[in-house]
Amino acid sequence: MKLPRSRFTRLLLASAAALAFGPAHAADPYPQRPVSLVVGYAAGGTTDAVARALADVLAPQLKGSLVIDNVPGAAGALGAYKAARAPADGYTLLVGADGELVTTRLLNPKQPYDGAQDFKPIAMVARLGGIFVASRQSGIRTTDEFVKALRANPGKYNYATIGTGNLFHFAGETLRQRTKTTLAHVPYKSVSNITTDLGGGVIEFAFLGTGTAKGFIDNGLVTPIGVTRGTRLPMYPQVPALAEHPELKGFDFAGWFAVMAPKGLPEPVAERLRVAVKAAIQDERFRKAIEGMGGQVATGDEDIARHIREDTARYQALVDSLKLVDAK
């Protein structure tokens, strides 16, 4: 039986459309293979702990597997660069902090990526501060003792952070400036190296993430001096905020952590990830993990682009006033 020409034409066009668009529409839903979560720090640090806590609750939401890819170096910038230049297909994501997304570039304008331009924001997941600790060998137990020791021994002391340009580097230089003391910054590649040298008395002071520091404080291996947030932490109510010292009023350094994708990620995949991440961070297990590190879970609705813009302005002002480009 011959088909009418008009019906034959419609069937022909429909068949052509199915051939042209069928595979894309009929493709299995994302993800179809493991998703890599790049972390710009070695295992054992705060960003790594946040990423692993997130992976545990995000995998069920995505109905897929997640792999942590630690790429330490340059205060998180090496890992961020790896994620930025990855294919924008949803299979490589960055779990990053404001350090590698904002501050490292302020001290290194030649950094080969831009946190504001080379990533598509997915969702903020947590906010955490840090804690300033002293080695047991230093004998220093309070912020006041710390300031007096620096003034009595100019040029003697140093402090460690996880790299040049990270949030705690800015905190340390602010501490130095506000107290009008001399304190040398020593950047490290991993938290484990910092804690080893603290334990051995190689360095006297360090800024650590609150979660990272907890085991060392609880076991008496380091002495907590003060927290970097403007107020005390429920997990350490006996440890004052550095801001409580008369010379450090208003001192407040706390970071945020977010999931970012390479620029160009198709919006349907980005939205799938946003929904999954937001559901994941509402999981009670994630909340307990973050609060156990002394942090707060984000809502997932934060405007990350706005945070990057505002933090860039804030920290650029610090770079200028602290002359950090010369101090690095």
**Based on the number of CB atoms within 10 Å of its own CB, is 264 exposed (0-12), middle (13-18) or buried (19 or more)?**
exposed
CATH number for 129-248 (one of 3.40.190.10, 3.40.50.2300, 3.40.50.2000, 3.30.70.920): it is 3.40.190.10
| Confidence category of residue 28, pLDDT binned at 50, 70, 90 | low
Q: In this prediction, what percent of the chain has a pLDDT beyond 90?
A: 85
Q: What is the pLDDT of residues 156-182, one digit of tens each?
A: 999 999 999 999 999 999 999 999 999
- Whole-number average pLDDT of the chain: 90
Question: How is 275-307 classified by DSSP, letter by letter?
Answer: HHHHHHHTSHHHHHHHHHTT-EE--S---HHHH
Give dist(CA 189, CA 45) in Å, integer.
11
At position 71, the amino acid (one-letter code) is: V
Measured from the Cβ of residue 98, the count of other Cβ atoms closer than 10 Å reads 25
pLDDT digits (tens, 9 = 90+) for 94-136: 999 999 999 999 999 999 999 999 999 999 999 999 999 999 9
The 3 state secondary structure assigned to 202-260 is: CCCEEEEEHHHHHHHHHCCCEEEEEECCCCCECCECCCCEHHHCHHHCCCCCEEEEEEE
Is the Cβ–Cβ distance between 86 and 258 less than 8 Å?
Answer: no
The answer to whether residue 14 scores a pLDDT higher than 80 is no
pLDDT for the residue 326: 55
Model-level pTM?
Answer: 0.85
CATH class of this structure's domain 35-128+255-327: alpha beta
Tokens describing residue 316? 């650029």
| Residue 198: burial class (beta carbons within 10 Å; 0-12, 13-18, 19+) | buried
Higher pLDDT, 237 or 9: 237
Q: What is the mean pLDDT of residues 1-18?
A: 44
CA distance 108 to 218: 37
Residues of the chain with CATH 3.40.190.150: 35-128+255-327
Q: With contact defined as beta carbons under 8 Å apart, do 88 and 250 qualify?
A: no
User: Is the predicted pLDDT of residue 1 greater than 70, yes or no?
Assistant: no
Domain with CATH 3.40.190.10 in the chain: 129-248
